[in-house]
């Protein structure tokens, strides 16, 4: 049976895949997106941040020193389930290599090349999709309960300043004026005014689905289950049958490893499981997104309430969620916000695609220039979706992107 012939196929309906699909449709391409539940994976439950200052990779010396504690404490901000450790060890070795000073500097520069214009990229992109009302640019405030805690975070803030990101210390009086709902215990802070956030990440995804369809795109609510480079395009299979696409974009996030390997990209991708709790009637409205420097999680006022999101858990993609990690976010938030109302809290877990250098894979697949890879954004899927979409659209059109893609090459490992 002859496979159905498509112009552009995008596998993956998270924020990166949706943004790529919409960008390609805007350029006049006939786009078909494949995903069983667009916008309901990790992109649905994220912290909502559009964060130009995410230029400090997770692989830092302090993280390596903390690994024994991660194994001992299942509720640490970064946790490894002991049973998963043997599978994760090769990833940890690569991660530790990327925590060496030279690699931290190189990865930080590569992150900055993508993140620094993220808010501007999103402002234009959201406007073109009619979704600008979901964006806020109110900055981000990191708060700490002691000078010692703030100093322990200084390597990351120093990297932000080095890359040109505003990240200035603020004192207890400034914090009390800016965010009077915070406990006076948290009298030490760093404020970055150039960050933004989204008030409804799931709504943003839903809006991009509508924008894609309005631009002539279509959606097949099935996964891509197999793929191979062909002589005139990319051949792939979904449960309903076979397809062939002149251009194929792989943006399946945490599920990308196996399909990428079939396109010649053998990447050491693993999964960071993140949790959130949403408090529907919190009784507080934050003036900016906040990072609790003690609990290492984000607090974001959203349309559905106050979202508490963060933590990293390594346990693989199939293990059942441990919602005690979401519950600990609620307890930590009560310490930060003494008047917080927690009735009706809901909990969620999603899987982020994570590579040991903290950088995404963006570029043509080794097996075919007609297959473009765009995955592995870890904590930066939302931040980098608009920028990644512009790069993918340029590659699909045969244009040189405005960013050197060598740090994100699928063959860098």
Q: Do 263 and 373 form a contact (C-beta atoms < 8 A)? A: yes
Q: Do 45 and 274 form a contact (C-beta atoms < 8 A)? A: yes
Q: What is the reported pLDDT for 170?
A: 98
Q: Report CA torsion sign: 146, 151, 152, 155.
A: positive
> In whole angstroms, what is the distance from residue 345 CA to residue 352 CA?
23
What are the phi and psi torsion angles at 339 (to 5°)? -95, 10
| DSSP state, residue 193 | T
Q: What is the reported pLDDT for 53?
A: 94
Q: Identify the segments of the chain with pLDDT beneath 70.
A: 1, 70
Tens of pLDDT, residues 182-215: 999 999 999 999 999 999 999 999 999 999 999 9
| DSSP state, residue 263 | T
Which one, of 358, 348, 412, lies nearest residue 384 by Cα? 358
> In whole angstroms, what is the distance from residue 237 CA to residue 267 CA?
22
Scanning 33-145, the segments in alpha helix (DSSP H) are 61-65, 67-72, 85-97, 101-115, 118-128
Q: Do 66 and 78 form a contact (C-beta atoms < 8 A)? A: yes
Q: Do 265 and 302 form a contact (C-beta atoms < 8 A)? A: no
- Domains of the chain: residue spans and CATH: 1-59+98-134+197-268+355-413 (3.50.50.60)
Sequence-separated (6 or more) residues with CB below 8 Å from residue 363: 372, 373, 395, 405, 408, 409, 410
Query: For the chain, how far is it from start to end, CA to CA, in angstroms?
Result: 38
Q: What is the reported pLDDT for 1?
A: 59
Say if pTM beats, i.e. exceeds, 0.85: yes
Q: Do 302 and 68 form a contact (C-beta atoms < 8 A)? A: no
Which one, of 195, 188, 178, 208, lies nearest residue 139 by Cα? 195
Q: What is the reported pLDDT for 373?
A: 98
């Amino acid at each position: 049976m002859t496979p159905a012939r498509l112009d552009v196929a995008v596998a993956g309906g998270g924020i990166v895949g949706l943004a790529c699909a919409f960008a390609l449709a805007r350029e006049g391409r006939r786009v078909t997106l494949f995903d069983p539940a667009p916008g309901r994976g990790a992109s649905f439950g994220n912290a909502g941040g559009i964060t130009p200052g995410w230029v400090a990779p997770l692989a830092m010396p302090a993280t390596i020193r903390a690994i024994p504690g991660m194994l001992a404490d299942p509720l640490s901000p970064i946790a490894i389930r002991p049973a998963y450790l043997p599978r994760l060890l090769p990833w940890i070795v690569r991660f530790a290599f990327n925590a060496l000073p030279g690699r931290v500097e190189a990865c930080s520069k590569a992150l900055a090349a993508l993140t620094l214009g993220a808010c501007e990229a999103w402002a234009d992109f959201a406007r073109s999709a009619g979704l600008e009302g979901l964006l806020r640019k109110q900055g981000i405030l990191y708060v700490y309960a002691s000078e010692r805690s703030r100093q322990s975070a200084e390597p990351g803030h120093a990297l932000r300043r080095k890359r040109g990101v505003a990240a200035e210390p603020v004192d207890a009086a400034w914090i009390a004026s800016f965010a009077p709902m915070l406990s006076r215990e948290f009298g030490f802070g760093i404020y970055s005014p150039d960050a933004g956030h989204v008030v409804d990440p799931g709504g943003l995804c839903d809006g991009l689905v509508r924008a894609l369809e309005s631009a002539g795109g279509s959606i097949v609510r099935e996964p891509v289950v197999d793929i191979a480079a062909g002589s005139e395009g990319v051949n792939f299979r979904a449960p309903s049958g076979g397809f062939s696409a002149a251009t194929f974009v792989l943006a399946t996030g945490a599920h990308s490893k196996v399909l990428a390997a079939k396109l010649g990209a053998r990447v050491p991708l693993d999964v960071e499981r993140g949790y959130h709790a949403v408090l529907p009637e919190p009784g507080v409205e934050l003036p900016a997104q906040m990072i609790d420097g003690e609990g290492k999680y984000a607090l974001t006022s959203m349309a559905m309430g106050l979202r508490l999101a963060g933590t990293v858990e390594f346990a693989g993609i199939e293990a059942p969620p441990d919602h005690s990690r979401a519950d600990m976010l609620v307890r930590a938030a009560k310490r930060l916000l003494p008047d917080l109302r927690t009735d009706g809290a809901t909990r969620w877990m999603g899987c982020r695609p994570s590579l040991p250098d903290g950088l995404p894979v963006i570029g043509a697949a080794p097996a075919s220039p007609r297959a473009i890879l765009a995955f592995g954004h870890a904590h930066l899927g939302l931040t980098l979706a608009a920028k990644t979409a512009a790069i993918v659209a340029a590659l699909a059109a045969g244009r040189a992107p405005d960013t050197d893609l060598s740090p994100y090459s699928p063959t860098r490992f």
